[in-house]
A and B are shown apart, each in its own frame.
Chain A
Amino acid sequence: MNTLAQTLFNGMALGSVYALVALGFCLVFKASGAVNFAHGSLLLLGGYLVAVLHEPLGFAGALAVAAAGTAAAAAVEALVLRRVARANGPAVPTILTIGVDILLLTELARRIGGDVLGTGDPWGAEVLTIGGVTVAQARFYSLLAAALLVGAFLAAFRWTGWGLSMRAYSSDAEAAALMGVRGDRLRMSAWLLAGALAAVAAVFLAAFPGTGIDRTTGQIALAAFPAAVLGGLGSVGGALLGSVVVGMAEALATGYQQQLSGLGSGLAEVVPYAVMVLILIVRPQGLLGAKESTRV
């Protein structure tokens, strides 16, 4: 029983980090209709900036600068994306993000080399014990931070003018423009937010029991892709739900791998995708994705 509780908590903690990443995917998709394959590299950039800057600036300062820097990088990507002609099909903007990813990742990997960089986070290797379940302090805070950030985001989405414009814009860009919504600014704000969230996710990923930033840190994005898609691309609630589902599935597959050994070893890597494929077969638009209405 204790193991189950512990495993479920691990799943939640994992899901909370996925949520920060998947929310970024979701925002970008809403704004630009592209899946951002450079998101993992943006995350790595955020982590790298914190790692490099935490000594002169302190952790909080470094995180602030990193979030701003990553947001700026995302904004640059958005600007490039705006220039792309979509004439050659809807896949083109997404392919562009692959190009951005190659450039960003090559440079970051070159700088990081084989190092494991610490981020100087304040949580150290401390653990908390709650009701027989032991959790690393950093994991507890990552859950808390994710909940706060996501809550704040949802509130803003629901109740502020920005949220209203965002919803209007993503449901009908032309009509929203006619009503005075400035599409360019809105798109940019989504990208900036996605970038900043990626930097925050990087810090929690690096914190204990993770072991800092290395060149593969950005690969978390590969597990967050299915989270965003199975929930329904472009649906904020879907991204959150998907993150929890994927986090749980992965933690269960790892925690109970001895019982599942008949399926071959290394199952945890496959599980997010298996769950996603099963859901997509039943619901091609994802769990909470809106069925695309088509206008002629």
Chain B
Amino acid sequence: MSDRSAKAHTSVTDRVRALGPRRIAALAGCLLLLAPPLYLSSFWLQTGLFAMVAVIAAIGLNLLVGTAGQLSLGHAFFLAVGAYGYTWLADDTHRSGTADLSGLGLPPLLAFVAAVLLAGVAGAAFSPLSGRLRGMYLGVATLALIFFGHHAMLNAESYTGGFNGRTVPEMEILGLSLGDADDGLAVLGVPFGGLERLWYFGLVLVAVAALAARNLLKGRPGRALGALRDSEVAAAVMGVPAARYRAAAFTVSSMYAGAAGALLALAAQRVVPDYFSLLLSMDMLAMIVIGGLGSVAGAAAGAVFVSVLPQLLAHYSDALPLVVSAGSAEPGLGSADAARFLYGAALVLTLVFAPGGLVSLRGGRAARALRGLPRPRRPAPTLPSTSPQPSAGATTGGDTLKEHTP
């Protein structure tokens, strides 16, 4: 039967065979991602952009938590560095209301890159702690960043605008504004405003972030970090300098957060300190766990789940049982509470029943079926380890990762 359908479509299937079905599916997915600006309202575009922010940040955090086994609750701080960094670097010094705001007035694209680097510098500056502290100690120490950051955002008014924040200058690439410019740009009859244009900018960023993370994980750094996570001593014996790798992982991860923060600033058009709370850090941890620790695709899936779920529930609360819409007089569970219950439960259930996260569920039957292969046995650890059950994920680096990446 499969032969017949193949013969009927020889010209297509020849090329398809060269690509392989997984890539085709990925390609189709990518193409579909190009469509939303043509169809969706600004609400969904805004939600989608916030989801992209979450995806980038989660991929970065996953490098740290999933691969290096280091806990960070301070990543909201690095998002703030990226967001405020971009705004300060790209904006001109000017007076807004009663506040004098400073700025460097760099070209936006340059400011974006510089903001990412700035977040990296901030991450590197934390290396006396991030290199030396392990696991839980680092987790609590990074909490400090949230509090320091909040203090700075409120007090350094000439940079941040204080409590009310400041307006984010529009992105501009090669003369094309990515804001709501009145240049009459329309694609296929759909007028393209700021959100529509930013959508594609966000997509490019996500793609770059995902590819870079994938290469990093496949290569020497990924294997070294995984080895560190599973056994520091064993890794050291194999010639991995622990402190340097840990600090480097922290720095790279904070650069991801910086890029996410700068995109967040662009999508929100105004940055205020309240975005960057401990809650954001916790949400990001939830994302990578729900999606699947140590996997790029997992981080992305988890990020989309956690950031889109509350909006879906709020939007369709009228149609859902048990959930009541905002402002309705009926008793019932508000959609915001419902979303928090759902994602709290998802977090707990994932860890208990599917420690591999969303991707492991898909990666199980579906992926096996797609390839028509039996699921490979868990490879034996390549390094001696004291942990009771060495994970497959990172110890063997490349091999198992392929399974998780589309």
Contacts and interface: CB of A to CB of B under 8 A. Distances in A.
Touch A–B, Cβ below 8 Å = yes
Interface of A: 29, 33-35, 37, 80, 83-92, 94-96, 98-103, 106-107, 110, 222, 225-226, 228-229, 233, 264-267, 269-270, 273-274, 276-277, 280-281, 284-286, 292, 294-296
- Interface core residue of B231, B237, B344, B392 (most chain A CB under 10 Å): B344
B151 A98 contact: no
A28 to B, nearest CB: 11
Interface string B58-73: 0000000110011100
Contacts, number: 163
A88 B352 CA distance: 12
Nearest to A219: B278
Interface centre among B132, B154, B351, B389 (most CB of A within 10 A): B351
B229 interface: yes
Q: Which label, helix, strand, loop or mixed, suits the secondary structure of the A interface?
A: helix
B132 A284 contact: yes
A90 B129 contact: no
A273 B148 contact: yes
Contact of B391 (A83, A89, A265): A89
A37 to B, nearest CB: 8
A225 B132 contact: no
A68 B149 CA distance: 39
Given A89-B229, A280-B137, A281-B128, A96 B148 contact: no
Contacts of B71: 90-91, 94-95
11 contacts: A84-B351, A89-B69, A89-B229, A96-B352, A102-B340, A226-B140, A266-B155, A269-B147, A273-B148, A286-B137, A296-B237
Interface stretch (B312-320, B361-369, B380-388): B380-388
Given A83-B352, A225-B143, A273-B148, A233 B136 contact: yes
Given A87-B391, A265-B155, A269-B151, A280 B352 contact: no
Contacts of B355: 84-85, 87-88, 92
A2 to B, nearest CB: 30
A239 B373 CA distance: 53
Interface stretch (B42-50, B100-108, B286-294): B286-294
B282 interface: yes
Contacts of B140: 35, 225-226, 228-229, 233, 276
A292 B137 CA distance: 12
A122 to B, nearest CB: 35
Given A85-B389, A88-B393, A286-B137, 14 more contacts: A35-B136, A35-B139, A86-B388, A92-B355, A95-B286, A95-B289, A98-B285, A102-B282, A102-B343, A233-B140, A264-B151, A296-B231, A296-B234, A296-B386
A99 B147 contact: no
Contacts of B69: 89-91
A92 B351 contact: yes
A95 B129 contact: no
B147 A103 contact: no
Contacts of A281: 128-129
